[in-house]
């Protein structure tokens, strides 16, 4: 069966420090991968999605970046965190867009920038 792993579960980082959040999917090949951010009162905002290795689309211009070094690995990074980067970050995966497929979510990372 397919599983998705996200880590760390919680993270407290000072302003200006770098960030690396990792997400891996098991049990499926060539998944579509997503990074979402959930901030209070702002719902779930799509940050990046990827349909293959080195194929990444950015939805929101900001100081975050994403990389997909392997088929089932998706990394969210920042060189210098801002206070406004605080939030709950969720990784998700899906399969073929031609099918009625849901997005499957990880358990999230709570990031607090201090």
State residue 93 phi and psi, 5-degree precision.
Answer: -140, 160
For position 54 contacting another protein by CB under 8 A, the verdict is no
Q: 41-47 long-range contacts, Cβ below 8 Å, gap at least 24?
A: 44/90, 47/76
For position 75 contacting another protein by CB under 8 A, the verdict is no
Structure tokens given for 79: 């060189």
- Scanning 17-25, 64-72, 75-83, 98-106 for contacts with another protein by CB under 8 A, the matching segment is 98-106
The CA distances from residue 63 to 17, 34, 69, 77, 80, in Å, are: 12, 17, 20, 9, 7
For position 7 contacting another protein by CB under 8 A, the verdict is no
Output 81 or 92, the one with its CB closest to another protein: 92
Q: How far is the CB of 79 from another protein (least distance, A)?
A: 26
Residue numbers of the site for another protein (CB under 8 A)? Answer: 32, 34, 36, 38, 41-46, 49, 51, 59, 90, 92, 94, 97-98, 100, 102-108, 110
């Amino acid at each position: 069966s397919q599983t998705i792993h996200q880590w760390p579960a919680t993270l407290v980082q000072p302003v200006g420090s770098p960030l690396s959040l990792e997400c891996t999917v098991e049990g499926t090949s060539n998944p579509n991968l997503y990074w979402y951010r959930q901030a209070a009162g702002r719902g779930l905002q799509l940050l990046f999605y990827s349909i293959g290795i080195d194929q990444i689309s950015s939805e929101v211009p900001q100081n975050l970046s994403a990389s997909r070094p392997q088929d089932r690995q998706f990394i969210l990074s920042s060189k210098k965190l801002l206070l406004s980067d605080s939030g709950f970050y969720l990784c998700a995966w899906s399969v073929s867009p031609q099918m009625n497929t849901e997005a499957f979510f990880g358990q999230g990372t709570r990031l607090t920038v201090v």
